[in-house]
Structure 1
Amino acid sequence: MRPDAVDAAERVPHGGTRDPDVLEFSANVNPERPDGVRAVYERALDDATRYPDDAYPAFRDAAADYVSRGTARGIGREHVVPTPGGLAALRLAFATTLDPGDRVLVPAPSFGEYAREADLQGATVDRVAHDAVVDLDAGALADARLVVACNPNNPTGDVYDHDALCALAARCRDAGTTLLVDEAFLGFTDEPSMAGEPGVVVARSLTKLFGLPGLRAGFAVATGRERDRLRTARRTWNLGAPAAAVGAHCLRDHDFVADTRERVAVERDRIRTGLPDGVRAYDDATDRDGVAPFVLLDVADTGRDAAGVVAACRERGVAVRDATTFDGLDAHVRVAVRTPAENDELLRVLAEVVDA
């Protein structure tokens, strides 16, 4: 990380509210959690009087088993690098890949932290339309050190074709370019992971799928030189004992994951089809299928700008995300997919805001 780059960098806005009296649709977090989390945490807290085992065998085994269910590649403990959240995995990948002046291709609109992390390393950022990332050819990759793909993409919610991603990975290998795939929301879907693909670094977040964003648990998956560099650069004891124990417990709760996927698929479609006149889902506007646990909404025809919709919803006890902070979006808000009753309230409030 370059000190002069830090001086020029800025923080990236995110969703999320800590107000317990507001329905939280601005952060893409599962409203439900696996059974037994509290008991596991309390047992691990008793063990926190000692340094954790820096090898994190139980956590890495659970992570390897978890991602192996989403890929035909053999993933073992040796491929997993534990991190305190998915963003920490991203930072580790940027830091171990980039030198000052390197060129990085990031999707847009997408997660703002990609460009920020590249900036902090003193790299040069070029933005690529998020739906064109998988089409990058040899010419575009020739002088690129790193390509980032967000799958499913945040905030649009659409997923890349797996075969197209694998073809991109092959082109990246030929060009000597590392492919970084952020799969923070892939666990909400049954789409296959890119984990274990040579030349690819996968970043995974546990905290969104398992409803524990304050826990800070995640991991990276890589092979070969990329894996070796991540393992060497990872901070010692970078995952607290409670986070490692709860993370392993959650990753092994496959029934919870399956139930969550089913609920999200049903409720996401129900939100899309229940929107009031004047509000359009990104899926409908672009004819691209969304699978993520959130929906991007175009509010240009409501008579309010995005900030006005956010404020009006907040006045009615619902927090939604102003998505104009994402590149290229000027009249959009993003809403999470929550429980059926909460989603009913969201739709009611949006209808009231539009009619007001």
Structure 2
Amino acid sequence: MNLDNALGVDRAPHGSSDDPNVLDFSANTNPRVPEGVEAVYRDAFAESRSYPSEPPADYRDAAAEYVDCQPDEVIPTPGGLAAIRSVVDLAVSPGDSVLVPFPSFGEYAREVPLQGGEPAFVPHDAVLDIDRSDLAEHALAIVCNPNNPTGETYDSAALDTFAARCRDVDTPLLVDEAFLGFTDQPSLAGTPGVVVARSLTKLFGLPGLRSGFAVTTGEYGEALAAARRPWNVSGPALATGAYCLRQTEFVAETRERVRTERPRLRDALSEQFDVRPSDAPFLLCDVGDRDVDRILEYARERGLALRDARTFRGLDSHIRVAVRLPAENDHLIEVLGDV
């Protein structure tokens, strides 16, 4: 990254509202947190008068057990986005091409130009079809699984095959698994040639904690470990993160709730909009010829924040809504039913 690159890149838009009087359907974070997490965070405050342990062994152990990899393959980061930036920083040089899916998380297209690279946009549902000769032209390939904002997961076998194809041509593959914890699909963590980025923001409902990690092997594992700043994740974030990653019952309950509520919400909203199938804790809705701004304003006036999905590349008549608690989803259905 250099001055000229940074000056030439805009901020990427995101969902979320900090208005306490608004029910936030624009951010896809869990409306619940694990029981006992606040006490863990408070207890960790006393440790903040000294530097966190280095390396943070307990956090790495918890993360490794959670995604089924080796602890020394875990690189702690202050959120999943920090893991993404670290990988792009290592892989991309000025003038390099990077395979970027669309519509997908907007930060990919922001991080690549920050390093002087050029995003090569490919439809998200066609990424895994890229052949070896085309892959060899890219310094990095990116996949979001499940994809944000469309919500679908990739077939595990097809994703494994794609990872092998990337490996064959020495193109590293970055897989953003920010929402994979809401599904039963196994992580690609520990797969040679693959860097996985994980976040605790979404599944554990703690976006302000800024805790995540990368998982990788081989030379990228060595490079990420060497490049990681010491004490890059705070002591309270490490302690709270390790605690959350071990809350298997909370994870199972969250998955079941989302699995139950998502089709119910989709069926209800489908009476008004064209709603895509999803494996994630959110739904993408095409509102057709309705005025998106008016829908967003109408919902806001009734205390609901929705995500303007027109900010995603390739979408021009869409909103995205999170799958929240049953009573909250009922309120969303009621409000949007009157649009």
Relative to the length of structure 1, the TM-score reads 0.94
Task: Map residues 228-267 of structure 1 onto 2, 5 A cutoff.
Answer: 228-267=222-261
User: Partners in 1 of 2:7 and 2:128 — Cα distance?
Assistant: 33
Residue of structure 1 in register with 2:312 after alignment:
326
Aligned residue identity for 1:32 = R
Task: Give the structure 1 partner of residue 6 of structure 2.
Answer: 6
Q: Residue 18 of structure 1 corresponds to which residue in structure 2?
A: 18
SS at match of 1:314: helix
> Counterpart of 1:110?
104
**2:334 corresponds to:** 348
Which moved further from structure 2: 135-144 or 335-344? 135-144
Q: Counterpart of 1:147 in structure 2: which amino acid?
A: A
Indicate the residue corresponding to 2:324 in structure 1: 338
Q: Which aligned runs of 4 or more in structure 1 are off by greater than 3 angstroms? A: none
Equivalent of 1:148 in 105, 130, 142: 142
Q: Confirm or deny: 8 A CA contact 2:30 2:204 kept in the other structure.
A: yes
In 1: Cα distance, 2:332 partner to 2:13 partner: 22
The code of the aligned residue for 2:81 comes to: L
Per the TM alignment, residue 310 of structure 1 is displaced from its structure 2 partner at its CA by 0.9
Answer whether contact 2:74 2:214 (CA < 8 A) is retained. yes
Which moves more between the two structures, 305-314 or 79-88?
A: 305-314
Match of 2:57 in 1: 57
Tell me, yes or no, if structure 1 residue 208 matches structure 2 residue 202: yes
Q: For 2:56, give the aligned amino acid.
A: Y
Aligned-partner Cα distance in 2 for 1:263–1:276? 20
Per the TM alignment, residue 240 of structure 1 is displaced from its structure 2 partner at its CA by 0.2
- 1:329-348 per-residue CA deviation (whole Å, 9 max, x = no partner) reads 00000000100000000000
1:111 deviates by: 0.3
Render the CA deviation track for 1:143-170: whole Å, top value 9, x for unaligned: 1110000000000000001111111111
Q: Is the 8 A contact 2:70 2:190 kept in 1?
A: no
Percent identical among aligned pairs is 58
Name the amino acid aligned to 1:297. C
Could you tell me how far 1:139 is from its partner in structure 2?
A: 2.0
Amino acid at match of 2:234: G
**Is contact 1:194-1:202 (8 Å) kept?**
yes
CA contact (8 A) 1:276 1:350 kept: no
Cα distance between partner residues in 2 of 1:243 and 1:56: 11
CA RMSD of aligned residues (A): 0.8
Check whether the contact 2:29–2:201 (CA below 8 A) recurs between aligned residues. Answer: yes
Q: In 1, are the aligned partners of 2:5 and 2:113 still within 8 Å (CA)?
A: yes
In the alignment of these two chains, the number of paired residues is 339
Which residue type is aligned with residue 280 of structure 2? A
Partner AA of 2:279 in structure 1: V
SS at match of 1:78: helix
Matched, 1:162 2:156: yes
Partner secondary structure for residue 168 of structure 1: helix
Q: TM-score, normalised by structure 2?
A: 0.99
Checking the alignment, whether the CA contact within 8 Å between 1:279 and 1:299 is kept in structure 2 is: yes
Question: How far apart are residue 282 of structure 1 and its match?
Answer: 1.8
Q: Is the 8 A contact 1:276 1:347 kept in 2?
A: no
Gaps of 5+ in 2: none
For 2:286, give the aligned amino acid: D
SS at match of 1:31: coil
1:317 matched to 2:303 = yes
Query: What residue in structure 2 maps to residue 181 of structure 1?
Result: 175
Query: Offset at 1:276?
Result: 5.6
CA shift for structure 1 position 307: 1.9
In the other structure, the counterpart of 1:287 is: none
Structure 1 position 78 matched with structure 2 position 66: no
Please state whether the residue corresponding to 1:181 is helix, strand or coil.
strand
Distance of 2:269 and 2:89 partners within structure 1:
42
Contact in 2 for aligned 1:207/1:213 (Cα 8 Å): yes
Structure 2 counterpart of 1:33: 33
Q: Does 1:282 align with 2:276?
A: yes
CA distance in 2, matches of 1:259, 1:294: 17
> What is the CA–CA distance in structure 2 between the aligned matches of 1:17 and 1:346, rounded to whole Å?
16
Structure-2 separation of matches of 1:42 and 1:122? 42
Indicate yes or no: 2:289 matched with 1:295: no
What is the CA-CA distance between 1:8 and the residue it aligns to?
A: 0.6
**Is 1:123 paired with 2:117?**
yes
Note closer, same or farther for the CA distance 1:164–1:3 as it changes in structure 2 (3 Å cut): same
How far apart, in 1, do the equivalents of 2:226 and 2:157 lie?
31
Residue deviations 1:186-232 (CA, integer Å, cap 9, x gap) = 00000111111100000000111000000000000000111111111
Gap regions ≥5 residues in structure 1: 69-74, 284-289
Aligned-partner Cα distance in 2 for 1:276–1:127:
29
What amino acid is the match of 2:320?
R
For residues 271 and 33 of structure 2, the distance between their equivalents in structure 1, rounded to whole angstroms, comes to 34
Output the amino acid matched with 1:323: A
Report the residue type matching 1:254 in the other structure: T
Aligned residue identity for 1:257: V
| Whole-angstrom distance in 2 between the partners of 1:105 and 1:311 | 35
- Tell me, in whole angstroms, the C-alpha distance in 2 between the residues paired with 1:37 and 1:194: 27
